[in-house]
Every structure is written in C-alpha cells, then in structure tokens.
C-alpha cells in the first residue's frame, strides 16, 4: 500500500540520462518547467511531451512507473481541468449552456492544455528523481546553492537536512508498514469505516511512528557526533562532481530542442 508511492523514488540504471551531471539535470528540469509555462500552443506542448517520452525511453524507465506516479495527482488534474472548462470565457456561442454553466470551445481547449501541462510537469520532474539517487541530488543542490553561502545561507546544513530526510523516507515507510501490520494483527480497521473512524484509526500508527522517529533522530545525532561531524566547514567529498564531455552534448541537445519547442509559438496560434 505505502510501497506504491513512487514520487521521489529512484530507479537505478546506467543510461546517459542517469550519468548526466546532477547539477545540470536540476538546471535542465527547471528550464523544462519554465519552457512548459511559456509554451502557448498545442504543437509546442506535443513536442515537449515527445521530447520527454524520448528521454524516458533513453533512461529505460517503464511507462507503468510513470503512470503510477501520476495516479495520486489525478484529482488535481481533474480539478484544474474542470475549473478551466467551466470558468473559461470565450467568443461566440457557448457549446453547452445549462443554468449558470457555460462551456465554450476555448474552455475545452484550455482545460486539455492545462491538464497535459501538469502531466508533463510531474513527469518531467519525475525523470530527475528517477534517474538521480537522492544523495547525489542533494549533493548537487548543495553545490548549486553554494554561492549563497557567502550571503549567510546555511547551505551545507540545509543539504544535510535534506539528505537525512530523504534517507529516512524508506526507513519510515517500512516502519509505518510494520506498525500498521502490528495494529492490523490486533484487529485495527485502517481502510474501512467513516472518515472520523479512519482518523481515529491513525492514532495507533502515528504515536509509535513519532516515538520511533525521535528515537532514530537521537541515535543518528549520537552516531554523527561519535564520528566527529561538525558541519560543512573543511569537509571534503568522496565523490566530486565533474562536468564530463557528454554533459556538453546534453547541454547542446537540450538547448536546441528546447529552442525548437519554444519557437513553435511563431508557427502556430496560441491557445490563449
């Protein structure tokens, strides 16, 4: 049940997407998000999806995994699509006119456009987390943020907090699973009953989970101190990130394709 959570899950592999410098990947994902929001026509949107699909194929991540990660956000997609569908004004006669509800052609187009955009957004950021292990990812974030250390931002501490938090997600999920099983074995009803019953049923799970999280935090702090951890100052790394030749290839490839996608605005009329 909890194992079905795939957002933020790492999917190991050895493709070019996996091997790309994580700093570059983060920047490219940000660029991709910006691109998604500047696209104003269906051609561009379709192209950006094709590009993403190609990268997913290159990374050898099965479609099933992507669909699974999209499952939890279906309500959000549906919500935005419906809002856009009903509240989008348009020229000409509404296609459907019922009581206060008016659906225009533009509304339908925009609803589809927004839905696809959100899907691309999630799938795009998903590619980053699927192909980059959490530790490497936070490492890259630390490096990218390091200029801000001069301004007094505790970059190393933030990165360490993120690393620890990410590292403990699987542990805590496993722990939750165990506690849930133990309470189920005592007849706890977790997946039936009214909303109030279900919230009540969470208490026997959350209390042991919190206690164990505090205990683990204590133990980890102790273990870190035993190994003389004293923050980021003077700390060297086992794996130093280096920009490889193939990373320049990736930069060029993405610059060209992103540019092409963006340029579609001159070819096709915008949705809005």
In the bound complex, what is the minimum distance in angstroms from residue 205's beta carbon to other proteins? 8
Both tokens of 13, joined, read: 């592999």
Q: Per CB under 8 A, does 196 bind other proteins?
A: no
Residue 62 DSSP SS3: coil
Angle, CA 211 vertex, CA 208 and CA 214 arms, to 5° = 150
In the bound complex, what is the minimum distance in angstroms from residue 199's beta carbon to other proteins? 15
Binding mask 200-219 for other proteins (x = CB under 8 A): ---xxx-xx--xx-------
Looking at beta carbons only, is 47 or 179 nearer to other proteins?
179
**Which one, of 267, 237, 262, lies nearest residue 48 by Cα?**
262
Q: Per CB under 8 A, does 34 bind other proteins?
A: no
Looking at beta carbons only, is 11 or 104 nearer to other proteins?
11
Looking at beta carbons only, is 35 or 205 nearer to other proteins?
205
Looking at beta carbons only, is 64 or 239 nearer to other proteins?
64
Looking at beta carbons only, is 71 or 178 nearer to other proteins?
178
Calculate the CA 104 to chain-centre distance.
Answer: 33
Count CB atoms within 10 A of the CB of residue 28: 23
The DSSP-derived string for 202-244 is HHHHHHHHHHHHHHHHHHHHHHHHHTT---STT---SS-----
Site for other proteins in 146-185 (CB under 8 A): 175, 178-179, 181-185
Site for other proteins in 46-65 (CB under 8 A): 62
Residue 6 DSSP SS3: coil
In the bound complex, what is the minimum distance in angstroms from residue 14's beta carbon to other proteins? 13
HEC sequence for 70-114: HHHHHHHHHHHHHHHHHHCCCCCCCCEEECCEEECHHHHHHHHHH
Q: What residue ranges bind other proteins (CB under 8 A)?
A: 3, 62, 175, 178-179, 181-189, 203-205, 207-208, 211-212
């Amino acid at each position: 049940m909890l194992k079905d959570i795939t957002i933020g899950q790492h999917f190991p592999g050895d493709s070019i997407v996996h091997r790309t410098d994580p700093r570059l990947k983060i920047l490219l994902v940000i660029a991709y998000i910006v691109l998604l929001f500047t696209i104003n026509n269906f051609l561009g949107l379709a192209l950006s999806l094709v590009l993403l699909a190609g990268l997913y194929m290159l990374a050898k991540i099965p479609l099933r995994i992507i669909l699974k990660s999209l499952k939890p956000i279906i309500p959000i997609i549906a919500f935005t699509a419906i809002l856009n569908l009903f509240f989008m004004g348009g020229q000409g006669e509404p296609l459907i006119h019922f009581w206060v509800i008016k659906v225009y052609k533009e509304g339908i187009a925009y609803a589809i456009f927004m839905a696809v955009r959100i899907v691309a957004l999630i799938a795009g950021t998903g590619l980053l987390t699927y192909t980059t292990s959490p530790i490497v990812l936070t490492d890259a974030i630390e490096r990218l943020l390091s200029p801000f250390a001069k301004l007094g931002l505790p970059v190393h501490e933030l990165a360490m907090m993120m690393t620890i938090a990410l590292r403990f997600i699987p542990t805590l999920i496993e722990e939750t699973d165990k506690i849930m099983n133990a309470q189920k074995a005592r007849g706890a009803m977790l997946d039936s009953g009214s909303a109030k019953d279900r919230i009540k049923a969470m208490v026997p799970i959350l209390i042991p989970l919190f206690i164990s999280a505090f205990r683990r935090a204590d133990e980890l702090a102790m273990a870190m101190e035993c190994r003389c951890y004293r923050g980021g100052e003077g700390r060297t790394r086992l794996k130093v990130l280096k920009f490889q030749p193939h990373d320049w290839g990736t930069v060029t490839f993405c610059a060209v394709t992103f540019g092409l996608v963006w340029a579609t605005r001159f070819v096709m009329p915008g949705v809005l």
